[in-house]
Structure 1
């Protein structure tokens, strides 16, 4: 997983991003400068976290996403579902999940009512 450290630094500095992209990749996390999630904030104001094939969704530390809106995307429905299940345990404000043939908009307060 890559990108969480940049978001952690933002949050420790008092900045709370409006949206965070959480991308479930079909490959290992890229580390080249323009593709690395740890450096995306140098190129764009939109923070990203990449979950690579080397990552176990059940072990992801997604605490940096507490109370944030997360755009969760990926092509592998089962891996996206596993990341979504893990993400919900970290109390995001909202999660918009999408892939090639699926879409789900989850808000804990709306879904629990």
Structure 2
């Protein structure tokens, strides 16, 4: 299932953030895989970052479980500590825990009808 997130960079850290994400550490990639994250794409508009995370499991529930796995992983803890110098905050989502944004519309879902899964 896919989950969208919105975060905001600290003033003046845009280029630094981009540079840090040119290639993330291999141990972080392994941690993301262990957590069930299949893909994570980030787009930037000025200081605003938009993330699309493809995770095993159902929507925010699967993402919440992935976050629990990552929270216990030393590679992710080190990465989050490092990235705190660049990221000001994640905007809150509807569930108050994962910061996942609510889905408003999905083309595939509309075209396939209400009985078919879409992601």
Name the larger-Rg structure: 2
Q: Whose RCO is larger (CA < 8 A, sep 6+)?
A: 2
